[in-house]
Amino acid sequence: MATRQVLIAGKWQNAQASGTFTTENPATGQKLPDEYPISSWSDCDAALTAAAEAAVAMRSIAADSIAKFLRRFAERIESRAGELVEMANNESGLPKSPRLAEVELPRTTGQLRQAAEAAAEGSWTLATIDTKANIRSFLAPIGPVCVFGPNNFPFAFNSVAGGDFAAAIAAGNPVIGKANTSHPGTTRLLAEEALGAVTDTGLPPATVQLIYRTSHDEGAKLVSDIRTGAIAYTGSRSAGLTLKSAADRAGKPIYLELSSINPVVILPGVLAERLDKLAEEFAGSCLMGSGQFCTNPGLVILLAGESTERLIAAVKQRFEAATPAPLLSAGVQRSLTNAVKILQEAGAKLVTGGQPVSAAGYRFANSLLRVDGATFLKNAEKLQTEAFGNVSLLVVARDIAEAKAVLDHMEGNLTGCVYSAASGADDSAYDQLVPHLRHRVGRLLNDKMPTGVAVSPAMNHGGPYPATGHPGFTAVGIPASLRRFGMLQCFDSVRPNRLPPILRDKNPTGKTWRLVDGKWSTGDVGTL
Amino acid sequence: MATRQVLIAGKWQNAQASGTFTTENPATGQKLPDEYPISSWSDCDAALTAAAEAAVAMRSIAADSIAKFLRRFAERIESRAGELVEMANNESGLPKSPRLAEVELPRTTGQLRQAAEAAAEGSWTLATIDTKANIRSFLAPIGPVCVFGPNNFPFAFNSVAGGDFAAAIAAGNPVIGKANTSHPGTTRLLAEEALGAVTDTGLPPATVQLIYRTSHDEGAKLVSDIRTGAIAYTGSRSAGLTLKSAADRAGKPIYLELSSINPVVILPGVLAERLDKLAEEFAGSCLMGSGQFCTNPGLVILLAGESTERLIAAVKQRFEAATPAPLLSAGVQRSLTNAVKILQEAGAKLVTGGQPVSAAGYRFANSLLRVDGATFLKNAEKLQTEAFGNVSLLVVARDIAEAKAVLDHMEGNLTGCVYSAASGADDSAYDQLVPHLRHRVGRLLNDKMPTGVAVSPAMNHGGPYPATGHPGFTAVGIPASLRRFGMLQCFDSVRPNRLPPILRDKNPTGKTWRLVDGKWSTGDVGTL
């Protein structure tokens, strides 16, 4: 069996490998046929050199060409959809339909097209012109971006096709993709189409590169290299923090999306109004994709009482009625088993589930745990262990004061939800609790589960540490997500013909929003 | 002699001190009368607790009240200007007039008033509304900000009155100021007026707090504390990197302004046009404030030739004719002496100066060094040692290719300047060199020295590491500098009456710029 090739400097080539790896189909546990290389430093080094050259070339490429590439790439993904869905299904165990074919793949091409539009329009750069002082600035490309994709979205967060990739490219930067090792084949097919689109549209050959795996040390070396501009990482907390530490020491911006348990508060009044619908909504959100979402509702805060007990019973019933879907890998099953053990050791009691399912592939029983507020407060850190999968912990607080205290112990999270009665019966409780929740989460929801992450300009898929590494940025939502990959470049008294087009008096597109003397406008300077 | 008090939770109180320190007048070397405490952890802890409470209270205070505080503070500074200028002159040796009284103090009050305007207007928050998805987001206050001020601007970058302070407060956050230990008295007077303005305008008592000094370990503990929201630091690279490391490990955003040598390229054509004026301009910029500016032109790149030799001679003459002004402290003199030694050991030759001046206080001879391009390239790291003071290194490159190579070895800097002929004679050289310079500096200037830093919305006083810790942010320029102290808060399907005013359909001020469905506007949602 030949080892698959890496993509460096526009060429598929044999890796300088320190070893190889294979993967399994997690739905069956069967080994998949392909073998992939573990790259040694010389692959990383070659990719960095090519990326640095591409970054220079891309600085003088019109944003329109980058937009064309992104659109062309979306088309090519669509024309190879069948094979991609087949491969992703084999590697991830995620259902072909609707999940992969009708939801995730269209989301991915949709993101690429939105990113194309943002690149062409240029408003993401926050171009700012002070005509009186003749000082002008905008966010310019930051340089080569290393993208580390997660295991749970083989398309939509793929390191060579997903949200971080689209944002980094749209901002004018080449990408070095590090495949998630659970779906190297999907990543390879996507990289083939990316390279095709690069060729079709005449971008620098090293606009998109791909390596599959490195040692931890070489990953750290890659992100801290002088040629690296920035890093985007989505995945486990431990690996993420290792990369963060290396990048921080080298002064490289690293955008992380780490663990999040996404607290959901359900107040008594809403239970009186629609307990069953809520049980349905919660079970659906928690079990979707076997719970392997960054925004999975992993912790629910309830107030002690009879209706809360009925909700728990209703959820239990639904958890038990649903067949556990496969997890993404043996590793996910192992971590989940371990996390549930930690939660139990810290005082949580099983309501249902709690152990791997003995069936083909890697599955875990749909699991619900509960703990009272007082116990939670005694062991708050351990009881916030992320159980990445179809597991949720219910925290039953004695009263609002205890619920507040629980919220005060929450780490940073991507989302926080509060369900309250339509009647207004919970309004006072809402007003008391939300000040303790709002600043601990990136996105606050009302009466809605957190799992949906719309690609909206107003979305925040981010939040305070340790959910991410910086609370000012979002990984989803265009154009805001592009700003992670820009450096602020100011031009002070630079002669007009030497300015980048976006900062000249004439608005280069007639539709780029620029802040001119304190007013946002799409017009030319001098005509406002 | 009584030890001065720290300001914690709205009260001047005796520090829990682990020791005390005094300062000197650097113009005379004479000890100043006041004694200041070195705070132990219990002071930091008390300040953090009070700041966390103030942060909660500030979240429900109208931006208008914060604006009123900033304006009132500016008035109170002005009404105590005489005493402040006297104290700052004693502590810094900087001239009372025009520097302190007519330049820096008005700049400081101007910044506070611009920040007030930005706070009241709210456009800095980049409020974004997606009406279709009903998702809304904006930059909300990040929490208590620790501000570490530098030695070189006792007013304009003071930890309780300067640019970082104004930005942090205008963004809605309380500030814990850590005085620069070279001007504790100036900082104390400013904090007195800040507290007066807090009282006058009814802000939470702990909106502004002040400690003078801590051990390094306790500084690290302060910036990484769970109650801290963000940190702004301006000062030496070594102390800054110690804080950065602690803050990074705790996931706290830290904005650093570290060393910068601000390369200036002077092309041959401009020398033919105005050699003497240029010598004057350069000497003025380099010797102003004894060269103790973050944007001091510390490295000049020239092309070998007769006119370059004439420029060097003309600059030498001016350096020798000017009387060295006092440095900010004995420590600055020590560091400067050491830096010049390192430059010489690395191959630079003295053109003039090179040693401390034996006169009252702490002074250093106006110093010029030179090195050829080949030597520079051999020892590029050492030859970029920052000589913070009235010293500059001239790098004489053989030709454009060598000048390019010199630029390719430049670390990240705040600024980069290129002087070229008005005739267009240098245009080809400009076009060849600037692509090697642009992405290494935050601000590019044409035909102008870098020392002036206008408080313009388009300013970038920032740049790639190690000039700062993140190339996307600026420390000067309103409203952009406020965004460092915001966390992105998203509201997904949150009921209208629960939204913060800035995200409701009605524009709360009628003048706040918001991105509504992709268009910037100051109108109400639904009327656009």
CB nearest A515 (choices: B136, B445, B457)? B457
pLDDT at A520 over 80: yes
pLDDT digits (tens, 9 = 90+) for B15-65: 999 999 999 999 999 999 999 999 999 999 999 999 999 999 999 999 999
CA distance linking residue A230 with residue A329, whole number of Å: 29
Question: pLDDT tens digits, residue range A411-448?
Answer: 999 999 999 999 999 999 999 999 999 999 999 999 99
CA B520 to chain A, closest CA, distance in angstroms equals 6
Chain B residue at shortest CA distance from A410: B226
- Rounded to an integer, the average pLDDT of A510-519 is 97
The residues of A annotated as belonging to the active site are: 257, 294
Burial label for A86, CB within 10 Å (0-12, 13-18, 19+), is: middle
Specify the pLDDT at position A528: 60
β-strand partners of A415: A443
**Contact by Cβ (8 Å): B445, A492:** yes
Measured between beta carbons, the chain A residues lying within 8 angstroms of B433 are none
> Which DSSP string corresponds to A144-192?
-EEEE--SS-TTTT-TTTSHHHHHHHHTT--EEEE--TT-HHHHHHHHH
How far is A283 from A291, CA to CA, in rounded Å?
A: 10
The predicted-structure confidence for B391-416, as pLDDT tens digits, reads as follows 999 999 999 999 999 999 999 999 99
Q: Do A442 and B488 touch (CB under 8 A)?
A: yes
Q: Give the best residue of A142, A254, A430, A456 to mutate against chain B (max B CB count within 10 A).
A: A456
pLDDT on residue B322: 97
Cα separation, B275 vs B273, whole angstroms: 6
Across the strands, what pairs with A11? Answer: A8
Element (H, E) at B18: strand B17-21
Distance from CA of A353 to the nearest CA of B (A): 32
Residue in this structure with the two tokens 């931890």, named with its chain if needed: A216
Q: How far is B20 from chain A (nearest CA, A)?
A: 33
Helix (H) or strand (E) holding B256: strand B254-257
Give residue B167's pLDDT. 98
> Could you tell me which chain A residue has the CA closest to the CA of B454?
A133
pLDDT confidence of A259, banded at 50, 70, 90?
A: confident
Of A136, A442, A466, the CB nearest to B490: A442
Contact A467, A257 (CB under 8 A): yes
Residue-averaged pLDDT of chain B: 97
Q: Which chain B residues touch A412 with a CB distance below 8 Å? A: 251
Asked if B491's CB is within 8 angstroms of A472's CB, the reply is no
> How many whole angstroms separate alpha carbon B93 and alpha carbon B84?
13
pLDDT at B259: 87
Cross-chain residue pair B56–A249, CB shorter than 8 Å:
no
Per-residue pLDDT at B526: 87
Residues A291-303 pLDDT 10s: 999 999 999 999 9
H-only helix segments in A13-62: 41-59
pLDDT reading at B527 higher than 80: no
Confidence of residue B1 (pLDDT cuts 50, 70, 90): low
Residue of chain B whose alpha carbon sits nearest to that of A513:
B520
CB contact under 8 A, A471 and B464: no
**Minimum Cα–Cα distance from A452: chain B residue:** B492
**What's the gap in Å between the CA of A280 and the closest CA on chain B?**
19
Q: Mean pLDDT in chain A?
A: 97
| A vs B: CB pairs below 8 A | 195
**Structure tokens that stand for B68 in this block:** 């009123």
Alpha carbon of B130: minimum distance to chain A alpha carbons (Å)? 6
Per DSSP, what are the bridge partners of residue A392? Answer: A368
| Percent of chain B whose pLDDT exceeds 70 | 100
- Determine whether the interchain pair A470/B253 forms a contact, defined as Cβ–Cβ distance below 8 Å: yes
Beta strands in A216-315 (DSSP E): 230-234, 254-257, 263-266, 299-303
Of the candidates A147, A151, A395, A379, the one whose C-alpha atom is nearest the C-alpha of residue A263 is: A395
- Mean pLDDT over A140-156 rounds to 98
What is the set of active-site residues of B? 257, 294
Mode of pairing for the β-strands spanning B145-148 and B230-234: parallel
Of A454, A460, A519, Cβ closest to residue B488: A460
The reported pLDDT for the residue numbered A2 is: 85
Kindly indicate the confidence band of residue A37, based on its pLDDT and cuts at 50, 70 and 90: very high
pLDDT recorded at residue A338:
98
Give the largest CA-CA distance in chain A.
Answer: 73
Report pLDDT for A526.
Answer: 87
Q: Which has the higher per-residue pLDDT, A490 or A528?
A: A490
What 3-state class would DSSP assign to B292? coil
ipTM of model: 0.98
Q: What digits encode the pLDDT tens for the residues B225-266? A: 999 999 999 999 999 999 999 999 999 999 999 989 999 999
What is the reported pLDDT for B403? 98
Question: Confidence band (pLDDT; 50, 70, 90) for A357?
Answer: very high
Q: Quick check: B474 and B483 in contact, CB under 8 A? A: no
What does the alpha-carbon distance between residue A327 and residue A361 come to, in Å, rounded to a whole number?
Answer: 8
Residue A342 is predicted with a pLDDT of 98
CA distance A112 to A162: 8
Average pLDDT over residues A327-355: 97
Residue B528 has pLDDT above 80, yes or no: no
Strands (E), A323-390: 349-352, 356-357, 363-364, 367-372
Sign of torsion, CA A117 A118 A119 A122? positive
Nearest Cα residue in chain B from A475: B488
pLDDT at B465 > cutoff 90: yes
Q: Whole-prediction pTM value? A: 0.97
Reported as a single tens digit per residue, the pLDDT across B161-208 is: 999 999 999 999 999 999 999 999 999 999 999 999 999 999 999 999
pLDDT at residue B92 in the model: 97
